[in-house]
Structure 1
Amino acid sequence: MRGDGADAMGEIGDRIIAVTGANGFVGRACVAEARRRGHPVLALCRSAPLPEWEADAGVTVARIDLSTDGDRLPALLAPVEALIHAAAFMGDSPEVLARDTLAATGAVLAACRAADIRLVMISSLAVYDTDALSPGDAVTEASPLIALAPDALDQPEAYLRSVRDPYAGAKRLQEAMMAQHGGAEGSWILRSGAIWGPGRSWHALQGFWASKLFVTIGSDGELPLAHVDHVARVAVGCAQTAPQGESVLNVFDEDRPTRARFLTAHRRCYGWPRLNVTVPYGAWLALVRLLKPMANRLPGLFREPILRARMMPLRYPNTALRSAFPGEDADTFEGLMARTREAET
């Protein structure tokens, strides 16, 4: 690992890939994948660098708060060829999202545009408007997106307070900012599914806990999972390559389990949840509609828009991804779950 700043990067050479949020779940995997392919990496992170980088002279760390220190970016990015923007706030506070996701993205966009750097934006499945979909539909890059208010880019906090899911609204605004301001020609947007992997085997699309009992909202729909190693491989591939056609890609695992299959595999590898009851999606939806008059006082999955966004049985084809990047995933879903568990021990 080399020291802080552009001077240290100058010693490494060209084809440098920068990664924001480099010490986060996705960023860490992107750094590892870029190094596996032989690229020097500029790891941009707000907190301490990862111990695993200390012995790697191909990783240069720059500690930076993108939301407040964006004026440092142009100098840092001077030798960089492409940037993977993985930094984002994962919570639902409109104020923090506006600062740590949107202001940070504005700084990244400005720096990439000025330096003509290819940008790979890590977006999310959450940008799709599930109110416009029906059970059984396929979610593709052409599916409708969450609507933007006319002044959403000028008043992001107000917009984030008005949408059903502030995190989803922030990812939608990130994409709108990129469409308005852009990075270099040949930049990408990756709409990933629910990202999982070592240290994050579970996900938020299964159901909910009721004390020690887990309630699965079951259906024959696919879980839109995206293993973190798969996301990193696609992101680094995009950093290396200009799009030949569509520059927006959905990123899902090739083998997408149902919730019942996920539950079985997770129990086999991790031993939990021990107690589970499965309620069919249709039955849960009927209950939610009965409770609509008191929906504002109930948790998220008792509100129909949130239920539809997280649990509606849908299909998630990888057609565009495989067209842009032919190949296969590392393993079946069950194999990936076993590998994930093994990596944690």
Structure 2
Amino acid sequence: MGKLTVVITGAGGFLGRACVAEARRRELPVLALYRSTLPADWAGDAGITPLQLDLTATDAADRLRAALPGDCAIIHAAAHLGGDPAAVARDTLSATRTLREVWRDSAARLVLISSLAVYDTDALSPGEALNEASPLIPLPDTPEQARDAYAGSKRLQEALFLSDAGFEDGWILRPGALWGPGRTWHGMQGFWASKLFVTIGSHGELPLAHVDLCAEIAVEAAHAPTSGPGIVNVFDDDRPTRARFLRAHRRCFGWPRLNVTVPYRAWLALARLLKPVSGHLPGLFRESILRARLMPLRYPNTRMRSAFPGEDVDTFEGLMARAAEDRA
């Protein structure tokens, strides 16, 4: 593996920091783009060149072009993680357009961090396998026209690169629910009702992707040519059910203490009953969002392991215990 520089956008975020750590573990030089706070653990590492840069700023393209090394690969992890339409339009799509402008003038391979959210689960049935051949949500004109603004922004973000002939040897990684030390909970389990947690469904795999696994795959992809583009879902090898996740989290962290499980089909029936007023209710009362987050499916990572051989460093319970130890 050559010593090309790994350029990481969103380097101060949950996944971005893991990508920086993985690249430095491999002794690769890093140009780390961050927007606000410089991570303290970068101090004293001469292999990390931090660059405070807002990709939506008017001078962002010129500043990035001037800083970009000649021999580099780019991991684009910067994005808005919420559902606010204005924020995703700015921090995901506008930022990506700036990066794309600079990337097109370079010879860098690009690794785009997309999301499982781009798949159209309305076209699937409980128990089916979701893989790279599964249908995608229709391409919207704006993020808010999709199932939710986050999914719409990721679909549009992918389209920006897939329409470009220069992306032939690039990668699109679609992680599931990212988790790891400092972020062990996720939004695909159910919802809180005061101190009671309501799990919707106990069967079906959770599409978890440990942050260190995703960082490892991203840094590998930065060095890996593909006759592509290469599109890969990123899921852990050991994927727990919701019931198994709940047991492990309670054992390691002590919560949620109060829990009730509602069958998925029962909640789906309720969502359909409330469809006439669903626009005024939280997302899990809307069928499309419910299916995307909680429908029991299977999530094979066959293509990922074919392109990037390896295995989880521990069982799911072992990784959860490690996350608890890191917190302590």
TM-score (norm 2): 0.96
* Structure 1: runs of 5+ lacking an equivalent: 1-12, 153-158
Aligned twin of 1:49: 38
Aligned twin of 1:202: 185
| Pair 1:322 & 2:305 matched | yes
Q: 2:245 aligns with which of 240, 254, 262?
A: 262
Aligned twin of 1:18: 7
Q: 2:154 aligns with which of 171, 184, 188?
A: 171
Aligned twin of 2:90: 99
Aligned twin of 2:73: 82
Q: Deviations over 1:265-308 (max 9, x none)?
A: 00000000000000010111111112222211211111111110
Aligned twin of 1:341: 324
Please tell me whether the aligned partners of residues 110 and 181 of structure 1 are also in contact (alpha carbons under 8 angstroms): no
Please tell me whether the aligned partners of residues 164 and 306 of structure 1 are also in contact (alpha carbons under 8 angstroms): yes
AA partner of residue 275 (structure 1)? L
* Structure 2: runs of 5+ lacking an equivalent: none
Aligned twin of 2:276: 293
Aligned twin of 1:307: 290
AA partner of residue 91 (structure 1)? G
Q: Deviations over 1:209-234 (max 9, x none)?
A: 00100000013210000000000000
Aligned twin of 2:125: 134
Aligned equivalents of 1:25 and 1:278: distance in 2? 30
Please tell me whether the aligned partners of residues 77 and 112 of structure 2 are also in contact (alpha carbons under 8 angstroms): yes
Q: Deviations over 1:129-167 (max 9, x none)?
A: 011111111111111001014xx2xxxxxx222222100
- Structure 1 segments of 4 or more deviating over 6 A? none
Aligned CA RMSD, in angstroms, stands at: 1.4
The secondary structure found in structure 2 opposite 1:78 is coil
Q: 2:205 aligns with which of 222, 226, 229?
A: 222
Q: Deviations over 1:111-139 (max 9, x none)?
A: 11211110000000000001111111111
User: How far apart are residue 185 of structure 1 and its match?
Assistant: 4.1
User: How far apart are residue 182 of structure 1 and its match?
Assistant: 5.8
User: How far apart are residue 92 of structure 1 and its match?
Assistant: 1.1
Q: 1:277 aligns with which of 255, 260, 263?
A: 260
Structure 2 vs 1, CA of residues 229 and 14 (structure 1 numbering), >3 Å: closer, same or farther?
A: closer
Aligned length: 325
Aligned equivalents of 1:271 and 1:124: distance in 2? 30
TM-score (norm 1): 0.91
AA partner of residue 269 (structure 2)? A
Percent identity over paired residues:
64
AA partner of residue 112 (structure 2)? M
AA partner of residue 71 (structure 1)? D
Q: Deviations over 1:301-327 (max 9, x none)?
A: 111111101000100001100110111
Aligned twin of 2:145: 162
